[in-house]
Amino acid sequence: MGKPTGFMEIEREESFERDPIERINDWNEYSAPFTDDEMKRQGARCMDCGTPFCHIGMDIDGATSGCPVYNLIPEWNDLVYKGKWKEALDRLLKTNNFPEFTGRVCPAPCEGSCTVAINDPAVAIKNIEQAIIDKGFENGWITPRIPDHRTGKKIAIVGSGPAGLAAADQLNQAGHKVTVYERADRAGGLLTYGIPNMKLDKDVVERRVQLLRDEGVEFILNTEVGKDISADEIKSSYDSVILCTGAQKHRDLPIEGRDGKGIRFAMDYLTRATESLLDDKVQAEEELDAKGKDVIVIGGGDTGADCIATALRQGANSIVQFGKHPQLPIKRTEDNMWPAYPQVFSLEYAHKEAKYKFGEDIRQYSIQTKKFVTDENGKLKELHTVEMKKTRDENGMFVFEEIPGTEKVWPAQLVLIAIGFEGAEQPVLKAFDVHVERNRVDAKYGDFQTNIDHVFAAGDARRGQSLIVWAINEGREVAHQVDQYLMGETALPTVANM
Ligand SMILES: Cc1cc2nc3c(=O)[nH]c(=O)nc-3n(C[C@H](O)[C@H](O)[C@H](O)COP(=O)(O)OP(=O)(O)OC[C@H]3O[C@@H](n4cnc5c(N)ncnc54)[C@H](O)[C@@H]3O)c2cc1C
Ligand code: SF4
């Protein structure tokens, strides 16, 4: 274990972030580098408790608790504490293909179920994970692993997000020839076009994609399956196909004035911002540039937070974020006890930045947008809202009621709709003729097989919009199944045999 008395002597260090004063002026990662010594101290806080809930991911009351890829957290905490970084890296890579992504952007459900967190701040697991993998790259310990045998089997993966990349990595290492089809000009899915650069530097994503290329995975970009190449051609050319197309079907807000200029989906906004950052030739569309504008983000989740951080860097005049739900409590309530994911108030990186810039928390809770109003040129000029009360109906279900007299008008020239996703985009699923249930591919977790012979599905396309760590889990698990299907046996790991 770490230091036996570490959790009593050492406090959790919270400041592994750059100062907002500095970081809102650039697009570099907001996290700050940490020293070996700092990480050693944080690793020392691990109790190596008898039942480490931190390393087993499960759903409790609809939220993930513990690590969905079963990272061997107490083991690598101990190794970091002892300065055995290479051994810690070997342990980490046993369970997680891409710790450089999760170490930066995972919401760390492991920390909510850390035993130290029962009455103290959790062990800084996510930071330690990032430190281990970053050291691995810095020291040249991560090199291409070229498989020494090839099976002759060919696999097509549609979609290059974390699910597709994890499946590609596993199946390539098993000796199969893997080809990944991606409609965007860069691989990575939401890791590339979705999550902004200040959370996850695009060089970090490209470094991993290049490593996979060096190991033998082929990427075919700018190619939409079902349009640029038919599903039938893919099915007949490969021994197995895995659909990892994500769940990016927007949820809209069809209220009065919705077709005004300046009311856009968050994903269009975030994608264009990253495109223009990565490619000087891509100009930010005027409508999607927050500079000098009053910006309102509708939706209280992480996508909304990413819009805030982006609009700040573009020089927005003001930013407000609307959330439907009331503010969360400061501490856990009785119906949200450890080891469930803590549903408590927090300031995300974007909220800290906005608070620094505008002097207050920019979130508005329990609020509903009633209509958009445009000027004579059809450009957005204001939003009308009303406050809501969250209560339970006679069946005990939550319902929202308008509070009379709380109507308000907000000036705005840019509104970003970030109220979630309805599920997987349907055209590609129709092209493969796979069954769909509630907008997701109907394939059972554990076997991932669709109704179509040799076509499998994994990640958000199967599960609905989720987390990177779950996408990695599903990529690994589907790889296990596909290898078994093709070879009649498999040595690829599954969480069931770890
Ligand atoms: C703005 C935003 C921020 C987020 N931030 C976080 C975060 O901080 N932490 C976290 O854990 N999770 C976060 N998430 C969720 C996380 O990104 C997703 O759960 C994860 O990326 C899902 O992985 P995936 O591989 O299943 O799909 P995706 O990452 O969505 O990738 C699907 C890929 O398939 C491609 N594709 C689709 N159809 C076709 C086709 N017909 N032909 C070829 N290619 C196709 C798409 O272009 C895309 O590249 C965020 C999500 C959003 C929207
Ligand atoms: S992947 Fe996420 S849940 Fe797992 S150890 Fe890392 S931060 Fe925690």
Residues of the chain with pLDDT under 50: none
Do 315 and 448 share a domain, yes or no? no
Going from the Cα of 194 to the center of ligand 1, the distance in angstroms, rounded, reads 7
Residue with tokens 């069809």: 254
**Residue 428 CB less than 6 A away from ligand 1:** yes
Do 262 and 336 share a domain, yes or no? yes
- Please name the amino acid found at residue 404: P
Going from the Cα of 311 to the center of ligand 1, the distance in angstroms, rounded, reads 21
Q: Which atom of ligand 1 is nearest to the CA of 306?
A: 1
Residue 144 lies in a domain: no
Residue 312's H or E segment, with its range, is helix 302-314
**Residue 478 CB less than 6 A away from ligand 1:** no
At 498 the pLDDT is 58
What residues pair up with 421 in beta bridges, in sequence order?
250
Last residue of some domain: 138, 166, 187?
A: 138
For residues 272 and 249, give the distance between their C-alpha atoms in angstroms, rounded to a whole number. 17
Residue 469 lies in a domain: yes
Going from the Cα of 26 to the center of ligand 2, the distance in angstroms, rounded, reads 27
Residue 20's H or E segment, with its range, is helix 20-23
Going from the Cα of 106 to the center of ligand 2, the distance in angstroms, rounded, reads 6
Last residue of some domain: 138, 162, 193?
A: 138
For residues 291 and 312, give the distance between their C-alpha atoms in angstroms, rounded to a whole number. 9
**Residue 129 CB less than 6 A away from ligand 2:** yes
Do 224 and 259 share a domain, yes or no? no
**Residue 71 CB less than 6 A away from ligand 2:** yes
Dmax (CA) for the chain in angstroms is: 72
| Closest ligand to Cα 424 | 1
Do 207 and 267 share a domain, yes or no? no
Q: Domain count of the chain?
A: 3
Domain assignment of residue 238, given as a range: 154-248+422-497
Contact 349, 305 (CB under 8 A): yes
Instruction: Please choose from 170, 195, 228 the residue to mutate so as to test ligand 1's pocket, defined by most ligand atoms within 8 A of CB.
Output: 195
Going from the Cα of 103 to the center of ligand 2, the distance in angstroms, rounded, reads 7
Contact 359, 379 (CB under 8 A): no
| Closest ligand to Cα 471 | 1
Helices 266-278 + 202-215 axis angle, to 10: 70
**Residue 110 CB less than 6 A away from ligand 2:** yes
Contact 329, 104 (CB under 8 A): no
Do 337 and 208 share a domain, yes or no? no
Residue 294 lies in a domain: yes
Going from the Cα of 372 to the center of ligand 1, the distance in angstroms, rounded, reads 29
Do 396 and 459 share a domain, yes or no? no
Residue 188 lies in a domain: yes
Contact 388, 400 (CB under 8 A): yes
At 7 the pLDDT is 84
Residue 58's H or E segment, with its range, is strand 58-60
Do 405 and 319 share a domain, yes or no? yes
Which tens digit of pLDDT belongs to each residue from 48-106? 888 899 998 999 999 999 999 999 999 999 999 999 999 999 999 999 999 999 999 99
Do 202 and 297 share a domain, yes or no? no
Do 133 and 34 share a domain, yes or no? yes
Residue 148 lies in a domain: no
**Residue 55 CB less than 6 A away from ligand 2:** no
317 by Cβ neighbours in 10 Å (0-12 / 13-18 / 19+) ranks as middle
For residues 360 and 303, give the distance between their C-alpha atoms in angstroms, rounded to a whole number. 20
Closest alpha carbon to 257 in 370, 360, 334:
370
Do 286 and 244 share a domain, yes or no? no
At 496 the pLDDT is 64
| Side-chain-facing half-sphere of 371: CA atoms under 13 Å | 5
Residue with tokens 């608070």: 355
Could you tell me the CATH number of the domain that includes residue 310?
A: 3.50.50.60
pTM above 0.95, yes or no: yes
Do 305 and 414 share a domain, yes or no? yes
Closest alpha carbon to 183 in 124, 122, 246:
246
Do 402 and 455 share a domain, yes or no? no
Residue 386 lies in a domain: yes
